[in-house]
Chains A and B, each alone.
Chain A
Amino acid sequence: MDQQTLSLLVVGATFALYIGIAIWARAGSTSEFYVAGRGVNPIANGMATAADWMSAASFISMAGLIAFLGFTGGAYLMGWTGGYVLMALLLAPYLRKFGKFTVPEFIGDRFYSKVARVVAVISLLAMSITYVIGQMRGVGIAFSNILEVPLAIGLLSGMAVVFIYAVLGGMKGITYTQIAQYVIMIFAYTVPAIFISLTLTGQVFPQIGLGSTLQGEDTYLLEALDQTMVDLGFTMYSATEGGMSMLNMFLLTMALMIGTAGLPHVIIRFFTVPRVRDARKSAGWALVFIGILYTTAPAVGAMAIWNLVNTVHPGEIGTEEGHLAYEDKPAWMERWEQTGLLAFEDKNEDGRIQYYNEDNEEFAAMAEEEYGWEGSEIVTLDRDIMVLANPEIAGLPGWVIALVAAGGIAAALSTAAGLLLAISSAISHDLLKGVFMPRISEQNELLAGRIAMAGAILFAGYLGLNPPGFAAEVVALAFGLAAASLFPTLMMGIFMKKMNKEGAIAGMLVGLVTTLLYIFTYKGWFFFSGTAMLPDTEEYWLFGVNPTGFGAIGAVFNFVAAYIVMKLTKEPPQHIQELVESVRVPRTDNPS
């Protein structure tokens, strides 16, 4: 059986499983549709949260980003896990106590204002749609790899599947499907990592393998990798130099952390558990399940770049046999060339591949002089392919390759489903039922949600085809928006009893607008390429702040604007202050 048939079989089997579960667990009421009837066990919810949360960006792009960033890639690892600490400590238990269906609903009730609720819906839509783009691109890449078709066709197939899938289940169906998706995803991620770790270092656990010596040698893997990167004109892999500046690493980590805590599609997962204490514990379980992948990812990234460099440069740099001949290219390279995500060009026409850092002028000049190199000959190397190509690079069996493809698609589908539910509930429950058409029937409420879902898929699909950056970076922008608009407002709603509607609305708007303006200035208006006002490079960034990390600063603007406006306007009514008192304790005997 060839690889394509095998991959199609494995992916097809997982699809049958998801659709089977979605049909078996169909929602029967609005409570089941929005919050799974609040009957989900905290460990099961933790697992579903992990699947909901770990997107195509985590599964496909993150290890690739880390592979090319080295040490500073830790911003993504710490940022996307540290947010759970904030969520467990500062948001989840209180929002569970409040006990409604959506995040804008909490903001609307707490700040006794439909305007606040609408602003929250706008923030939610801005970030969820941005976030869905990353998922669509991830699905497109995975499909184009399995079916060996151009990215556009892969993307369209992905859109069709997401549509069927998202329309089938409410929160209840999604929850049980996500548990299955988590199992497939984590298996698909760790099996190749264990194989590769065993081959390179002889250690079963990749987390230990990354800190071990190379098989049969005394040199540590990281040491050897540092040396190889330097030999090719790059910076040392594990050193703090290279990658992003300390300021940007700090801001990006912070933006990702508070953004994670403010993501509405993750927060609503904590509305599905029975009690407040379950909400706290469930966040811990979610992080355990997420941590399994996130502590494996650095090993995957480092070992992928190690394998890639050693495939292209099998011997000493600069000697003839030190470079792979074009005719000896392994099959996986040719497969990926068909997708257009990997491309070579024999610039110095010596029939061999040279891959090095041509942006390092000193090194490039030396290489031209000494070795006769005329530029790096891997002209396109999409970072997003690193995880998917990893098992092939390491020469693992066909079923592992098929499994990785299924895992990548599981990751993208589970997150897309969660996001689409958040988008459609914001439109049908918050906008239509909550504000514009309070008398809408339940049937029409669901119909409106589905139409909104379809529109979101089309829009995200278009942008997935013309993306403003790599999948993980697109997602990073969504986090900036969550960080700058929703998190500060939710937190102030719980921890500042005197915060009033004027302050909350001003804060959200200031956070959202400043962050969007800063991002659009460098990434193009609404991400359409060619409309950027300034080049997206460090010398043009305001105070050297990367747009992906701006959310942390937007959040500060949000807090400051909210505080100033609160001081200038009248304090919230008594019953709202009592509401805040009541969300702060798990059990209130006599609700006053």
Chain B
Amino acid sequence: MSQEDLSRQAYWRAHLRLLAICLAIWFLVSFGLGIILAAPLNAISIGGYPLGFWFAQQGAIYTFIILIFVYAWRMNVLDRKYNVHEE
């Protein structure tokens, strides 16, 4: 296996690791805090928002936006590190 193939494999593995972390956060804020744990979380309030309700109707969306930009930034770093970035 050539040097380039090895580097390509390492890049793909690092990429999959980043994907796993991002998808875990994606699942946690929506299905976790916004649905499955919403009932108990509703006992806590931030301002007039019960917390579970806030995650389902506000918080999950804010997290998604941040998540995509962080992913795009980390991928750019990864692309440069493994020298597969575009001009």
Contact = CB atoms under 8 A, between A and B. Distances in A.
A binds B: yes
Main SS class of interface, B: helix
A82 B68 contact: no
Interface string B42-54: 1000111110111
A199 interface: no
A: interface residue count bin: 35 or more
A74 B68 contact: no
Contacts of A584: 12, 15
Contacts of B31: 250, 253-254
Interface stretch (A84-92, A321-329, A418-426): A84-92
A588 B11 CA distance: 13
B71 A81 contact: no
Interface string B16-59: 00010011001000110011101100100011111011101110
A49 to B, nearest CB: 12
A73 interface: yes
Contact of A81 (B39, B61, B72, B76): B61
Contacts of A78: 30, 34, 56, 60-61
A210 B49 CA distance: 8
Contact of A74 (B22, B57, B67): B57
A240 B52 contact: yes
Interface residues of B, number: 43
A222 B84 contact: no
Contact of A284 (B36, B53, B69): B69
Given A78-B34, A212-B48, A84 B56 contact: no
Contacts of A222: 48-50, 53
A317 interface: no
A204 to B, nearest CB: 15
A315 to B, nearest CB: 24
A298 B48 contact: no
B61 to A, nearest CB: 5
B46 A587 contact: no
A295 B49 CA distance: 14
Contacts of B69: 281, 284
Interface stretch (A151-159, A179-187, A272-280): A272-280
B79 A220 contact: no
A75 B31 CA distance: 9
Given A211-B54, A280-B71, A89 B23 contact: yes
Contact of A249 (B15, B35, B68): B35
A284 B52 contact: no
A240 to B, nearest CB: 4
A77 B39 contact: no
A39 interface: no
A347 B72 CA distance: 60
A153 B22 CA distance: 48
A371 B47 CA distance: 36
B5 to A, nearest CB: 9
B42 A238 contact: yes
Contacts of A208: 47
Contacts of A85: 22-23, 26, 64, 67-68
B65 to A, nearest CB: 5
A585 B11 contact: yes
A277 B86 contact: yes
A367 B19 CA distance: 55
Interface of B: 8, 11-12, 15, 19, 22-23, 26, 30-31, 34-36, 38-39, 42, 46-50, 52-54, 56-58, 60-62, 64-65, 67-69, 71-72, 75-76, 79, 84-86
Closest A-B pairs by Cβ, 8 of them: A74-B56, A220-B48, A284-B68, A211-B47, A298-B57, A211-B49, A280-B72, A211-B48
28 contacts: A74-B53, A75-B35, A77-B60, A77-B61, A82-B60, A82-B64, A84-B64, A89-B19, A211-B47, A220-B47, A238-B42, A253-B30, A253-B31, A257-B30, A277-B79, A281-B72, A284-B72, A291-B61, A291-B64, A291-B65, A295-B61, A295-B62, A298-B58, A584-B12, A585-B84, A586-B84, A586-B85, A587-B85
